[in-house]
Amino acid sequence: MVQEPLAPNYGKRLVKVNYLEREQQNRLLGELGEELVLNYEKWRLDQAGKSSLAERVEWISKVQGDGAGFDILSRNANGTDRYIEVKTTKLGELTPIYITRNELSFSQAKAEQYHVYRVFQFATKPRLFTKCGSLDRICRLEAVEWVGRW
């Protein structure tokens, strides 16, 4: 009688994750959130009687590519720059967001002009709130990933 080897016990339930599918869903969700904020910014400036500024709102991450440290370049009512990073989730407002080193660095360099637009409950009834300042000041940061180099 040949005994089958026992399956290893890793101490937790293993789950297969389709990272490609998850990345595509996250990218689409992020893009939809950014589009919502882009339209909101144009509306906000129009409502303030600043239609010429509304026309200058730019979707940087879509037109120029991701990596600028922010997603949308808008304007304040006085014409100064407003750098907007959009963080979108389907769940509630307290759902954690993921921040890149580049976003953190840019937010620190442009803290007075840096705004996070937190879009939540996107799947059911999109809502948002905003925070201004560097990311390390407006939220608690926790390391969840590392890079290993040889």
Question: Domain 19-138 carries which CATH code?
Answer: 3.40.1350
Provide the pLDDT for residue 65: 87
**What was the pLDDT predicted at 113?**
98
The pLDDT of residue 101: 92
Report the distance separating Cα 63 and Cα 76, nearest Å.
21
Give the residue extent of every domain in the chain: 19-138
| pLDDT tens readout for residues 75-108 | 999 999 999 999 999 999 999 999 999 999 999 9
Position 144 scores a pLDDT of 82
pTM over 0.85: no
Pick from 105, 58, 106, 115: which is nearest to 85 by CA? 115
Residues with Cβ within 8 Å of 58's Cβ and at least 6 positions away in sequence, in order, are 72, 73, 74
- Is pLDDT at 59 greater than 70 in this prediction? yes
Cα-Cα-Cα-Cα dihedral sign, residues 61, 66, 68, 70: positive
